[in-house]
Structure 1
Amino acid sequence: MKICFIMYPWDRISADSDSTLRLIHECAVRGHTVAITTPNSLTIRDSGAHAFCNVLKKKAKISSNVPTFYKAADFKRSKLPLAGFDVIVMRANPPLDTIALNFLDSVREDVFIFNDIDGLRIANNKLYPASFSGEAARFIPTTHVSKSIEYLEQVLNESESEKMIMKPLNGFGGQGVIVVEKSAQKNFRSLLEFYIGGDNGNYVILQDYIAGADKGDVRILLLNGEPIGAMRRVPGEKDNRSNIHAGGREEKHSLTKEEKALCKALGPKLVRDGLFFVGLDVINGKLLEVNVLSPGGITRINKLNRVKLQKQVVDFLENVVSARELVEERKSVFRKAIEDAEAL
C-alpha cells in the first residue's frame, strides 16, 4: 500500500503523544510505502495534483518504540503525483485549509481519501452537529449561533439554566471556551463585543450548559461508524476546559449505555458523509463536537487500556484498498470479455 499523510510539519510532532505518528509507525512496520507532506507543499504540474513529499526510507528493522522510530526516521525528498497513492490520510491541524481540499478534488476518483474531502468541508465546523436529525437529534444540546449581540443577550436572559457555554464558532482545541453565568450578566455585552469583533464580525455559539461539565468530558474515537476507544478528560484545577492541551488530564473510561446509543445513532450519518475516523466530545450523553480533521487520543487511550488502536485504523485502510483493487480487477476481466466478444 502506498500511503500519503497530509499533516503538520514533522519537526512539530510530540513523539510521546502524537496520534498521527502512531499511524505512520504502524504503516512502516507493515512495510507500506509512507510519504508525508503538508498543505503548503501541494502543487499542480501538467494539470495534475502533486506534492513535495518526504518519503520514509525503508529499513530492515524498525524500532517498536515509537519515539525511537521518530528520531531515527530518514526521508527522501520527492515531488510525487497524488493520483499514484492508494490512500491519502488528512491529518493537518485545524483550521481547515480549503485550498488544500481543492487540490485533492482532481484525484478523489483515483485515491481513497481519509476522511473524504466533501465530508471535511461540511463537518469541520461547530455547526455540523445541528445537521443530525431523527434519533440522533436527542443527543445534541440546544445550541444558538449568531453575530447579533442583542439576540445572544436575549438567549441568555431566556435560558432556564443559570449558566451557558460560550465559544467562538471558528475556535478549536478548547480555545475561547468559557462558562457564562447570569449572575455576571453585566459583563456579557462586553464579552460579546470582544468575541464578535469588528464590522464583519465573528459568529459566537451559546450552548446549554450540561450537568456534569465541570467534571470533564469523554473523547470517543469512531472508526467506520463504530467506537474503538474512549477516555475521560478531566479539567485542571484552574480551568473549566478538559482539553489535554489546556491542562486537562485523561482517565480510563468505559462507554455507558447512553454513550453507546449515541454512537449507534450518529455512526451511519458520519459514514455516509465519508467521515470514517472521527473524535466525538461528549458530556453526560450529549454531543458537544465532532472532530474530523485530525482527531487525537490514540496514544492516551492506548496507554490507559493497553491496546494499539492504530492497528485497527490501518487494518481498515488495507481492507478498503483491497476492496478497491478487487473491483478494478473484476472490471478488467469484464472489459476483456467484452473486447473478446467484439473480436469474434
Structure 2
Amino acid sequence: MKLTFVINDIATEQENYTTIRLARRAISMGHQVALVSIVDFVYEPDGRVSGFGKRPRRDDYEDDADILGDLQDDENEVQKIAICDEDIVLLRSDPANEVVNRPWAPTSGLLFAQIIAAQGVIVLNDPKKLTDAQNKTYFQTYPEIIRPETLITRDMAEIKTFIESMGGKAVIKPLQGSGGQGVFVIKDDSTANLNVMIEATVRDGYAIVQEYLPKAAEGDLRLLTLNGRPLVVDGIYACFKRFNESGDGRSNITAGGSVEMAQPDADALRLAEIASPRLIQDGMYFAGLDIVGNKMMEINVDTPGGINMAEDITGKDFSGAIIRDLEHKVRLKKNYPNMPTSDLVCI
C-alpha cells in the first residue's frame, strides 16, 4: 500500500504527533510512506496532482523520534511524489496553524485533495466535508442534544448578554483555533477582565461562546473514532482523560494538561452513538470527540491526536488497527473499481 500524509510542514512535525506514529507503524507493516506539505502540491499540465515531500529512508525505526529525525535530516532530499498514484492520502494538516502566515494554505490544500479524490485515490477525511469544517461552526450542524448552548458572534454586547444568561459562567474562544489556544474560562471573578478577554478573542475573527459545564473542572475526555465509531482494540477504547492540575481551565495537552487512559462512560458512548451517523455521512473517517459530562464540546476532524499516548499507556496497537483498516479499504477499492471513493470513507 502506498500512503501519503498531508501535513502542515515536515519541519514543524513533532515526535509525539499521531501522524508520525501512524507513519512508523505503516512502514513496519511493509507499506510505502510519504509526507507532503499542503503548500507543496503541483497540478500538472495533464491534470494529475503531484507533491514535493519526503519519504522515510529505512523500513525499521527504533521509535518516533528516530523516524522524525530521518525525515527532518537535511540529507533526506525532497522528492516529487505522484500523489495520484497513491492508494491512500491521509489529510493531517491543522488549519489553525496557518491562520497568521499562510491563511490561504488550508483552502488550497483541500481543493487539491478534492482533485486527487476525483481521480480515484482514497482521501481521508473527506476533503469536501473538511472544507465545510474549517472552523468550529461545523460542530453546530450536529444534533443539538449533544452540544452545549452556544453563541457565535463578534459583538461584545451580545457576548455579555449571553454570559449573563449563563449565570456569569461561560467559555469563550476563537472560532478558528485548536490546542486550547486563546481559550478563556469566564467565572464570577472574571468581571474585571471580561472586556479584555472578549477583545482578545474577536480581534482576529468570530468568537464562539459556550455554556460552562461544571464537570470541566475535572477535565475532559478525548474519544477517538474510526469509521464513525469508537476505536477499540482488545476491548480497550482509544479514550483518555485530559486534565490540568495547575488551575488552567484548559485540559489540552498542548496547553500543559496531563493525560490518563479512561473507560468512556454511558454518557460518552451515547454521545458518540448520536454523532456517528453524521460522522459517517460526512466521511469523517478518523475523528476526536471532546466530551465533558453529558455534552460534547468539540469534534476534531482535522488532526485528531493522542494515538501515541494511548498506545504508550495501554500497550494496545491502535495505530496498527488504523493501518489494517486502510488496507481493507484498498482491497475494497480494487474489487470495486467503479465505486466512488467517497463511499469507501467510512466502510
TM-score normalised to the size of structure 2?
Answer: 0.86
Q: Which residue of 1 aligns with 2:229?
A: 226
Query: Can you list the C-alpha shifts for 1:246-273, whole angstroms capped at 9, x where unaligned?
Result: 1110012001011111111101210110
Deviates more, 1:182-191 or 1:115-124: 182-191
8 Å contact kept, 1:156–1:182: no
8 Å contact kept, 1:44–1:50: yes
Q: Which residue of 1 aligns with 2:5?
A: 5
3-state SS in 2 of match to 1:41: strand
Q: Which residue of 1 aligns with 2:17?
A: 18
- The answer to whether 1:88 aligns with 2:95 is no
What is the alpha-carbon distance in structure 2 between the residues aligned to residue 122 and residue 221 of structure 1?
21
Decide whether aligned partners of structure 1 residues 8 and 194 sit closer, same or farther in structure 2, where only a CA change above 3 A counts: closer
Decide whether aligned partners of structure 1 residues 261 and 50 sit closer, same or farther in structure 2, where only a CA change above 3 A counts: same
3-state SS in 1 of match to 2:95: coil
Match of 2:211 among 200, 208, 211: 208
Counterpart amino acid of residue 205 in structure 2: N
Q: Which residue of 2 aligns with 1:337?
A: none
8 Å contact kept, 1:114–1:276: yes
8 Å contact kept, 2:116–2:123: no
Query: Can you list the C-alpha shifts for 1:228-257, whole angstroms capped at 9, x where unaligned?
Result: 210000113141111111111001200101
Q: Which residue of 1 aligns with 2:102?
A: none
Tell me how far 1:72 sits from its aligned partner.
Answer: 4.8
Deviates more, 1:222-231 or 1:44-53: 44-53
Tell me how far 1:64 sits from its aligned partner.
Answer: 5.0
Counterpart amino acid of residue 80 in structure 2: K
8 Å contact kept, 1:167–1:205: yes
TM-score normalised to the size of structure 1?
Answer: 0.87
- The answer to whether 1:119 aligns with 2:119 is no
3-state SS in 2 of match to 1:92: coil
3-state SS in 2 of match to 1:153: helix
Match of 1:319 among 328, 341, 344: 328
What is the alpha-carbon distance in structure 1 between the residues aligned to residue 200 and residue 337 of structure 2?
55
3-state SS in 1 of match to 2:284: coil
Q: Equivalent residues in 2 for 1:249-328 (5 A)?
A: 249-328=258-337
8 Å contact kept, 1:118–1:274: no
Match of 1:156 among 158, 163, 175: 163
3-state SS in 2 of match to 1:127: helix
Q: Equivalent residues in 2 for 1:7-156 (5 A)?
A: 7-15=7-15, 17-46=16-45, 47-59=47-59, 62-63=60-61, 65-72=63-70, 75=76, 77-95=78-96, 97-109=106-118, 110-133=120-143, 137-156=144-163
8 Å contact kept, 2:169–2:186: yes
What is the alpha-carbon distance in structure 2 between the residues aligned to residue 2 and residue 252 of structure 1?
32
Tell me how far 1:277 sits from its aligned partner.
Answer: 0.1
Decide whether aligned partners of structure 1 residues 303 and 57 sit closer, same or farther in structure 2, where only a CA change above 3 A counts: closer
3-state SS in 2 of match to 1:299: helix
3-state SS in 2 of match to 1:4: strand
Query: Can you list the C-alpha shifts for 1:151-176, whole angstroms capped at 9, x where unaligned?
Result: 111112222x3411111111211011
Counterpart amino acid of residue 61 in structure 2: S
3-state SS in 1 of match to 2:78: strand
- The answer to whether 1:187 aligns with 2:224 is no
Percent of pairs with identical residues: 26
Structure 2: 5+ residue stretches without partners: 99-105, 232-237, 340-347
Q: Which residue of 2 aligns with 1:235?
A: 244
8 Å contact kept, 1:51–1:81: yes
What is the alpha-carbon distance in structure 2 between the residues aligned to residue 171 and residue 11 of structure 1?
21
Counterpart amino acid of residue 126 in structure 2: D
Counterpart amino acid of residue 325 in structure 1: K
Counterpart amino acid of residue 65 in structure 1: D
What is the alpha-carbon distance in structure 2 between the residues aligned to residue 72 and residue 107 of structure 1?
27
8 Å contact kept, 1:236–1:247: no
Tell me how far 1:295 sits from its aligned partner.
Answer: 0.9
8 Å contact kept, 1:124–1:291: no
